[in-house]
Amino acid sequence: MSKGVTVWFTGLSGSGKSTITRILEKTLRQRGERVEILDGDVVRTNLSKGLSFSKEDRDLNIKRVGFVCQLLTRHNVIVIAAVISPYKQSRESNRSLIGNFIEVYTKCSVEACAKRDPKGLYKKAQSGEIQHFTGVSDPYEEPENPDVICETENETPEESAQKIVLKLEEFGYIDKQ
């Protein structure tokens, strides 16, 4: 049986968090692991309705997600949190709180994310229609020592997911296969 752990994705909108999450989830489920996903949609609907994109509200949101990750992690669930989480200190607080924690950085330039722009958000951010948009009109603090870096401009989502699986094995959170 696996140990609980939080796999915390951080990265710009469009950097590949959701795509890699889906592949990772499928792989882990096929291996019989208990998995929960807390991605942007789940979080906005169930935990953070009404919060703005100010630094204060973003921090509150990340703290709230961290609380839920902590609860699930200590009951042996692998929780995949996939939220932009632009501030280093918020991520580090969650690492301290949760303990069993792997930080995954989906690294991708703003230019490449804006080119992908799957939801048309960069276009709106660049025209000013959306404000406080991370990478355009709001800061993103890169992780200094992430446990896994997914270079999503140079590797496939499958390769990225595989790197995370190997890290989970290496740290003993899941059994090797």
| HSE, side-chain direction, 13 A CA sphere, residue 113 | 22
Cα separation, 27 vs 105, whole angstroms = 19
Q: Does 3 bind a second copy (CB under 8 A)?
A: no
Contact region for a second copy (CB under 8 A) — 57-65, 84-92, 144-152, 168-176?
57-65
DSSP 8-state secondary structure symbol assigned to residue 134: B
Catalytic (active site) residue 85: yes
Are 113 and 14 spatial neighbours (Cβ–Cβ below 8 Å)? yes
Contact map string, positions 7 to 36, toward a second copy, x by CB under 8 A: ---------------------------x-x
In the set 67, 99, 137, 170, which binds a second copy (CB under 8 A)?
A: 67
- DSSP lists the bridge partners of residue 107 as 151
In the set 3, 22, 64, 95, which binds a second copy (CB under 8 A)?
A: 64
Are 12 and 83 spatial neighbours (Cβ–Cβ below 8 Å)? no
Neighbours of 32 (CB within 10 A): 10
Give residue for tokens 């009951």.
75
Q: Does 49 bind a second copy (CB under 8 A)?
A: yes
The catalytic position among 85, 109, 137, 160 is 85
Scan residues 68-87 and list those touching a second copy (CB under 8 A). Answer: 68, 71-72, 75-77
Residues that bind a second copy (CB under 8 A): 34, 36, 46-47, 49-50, 60, 63-64, 67-68, 71-72, 75-77
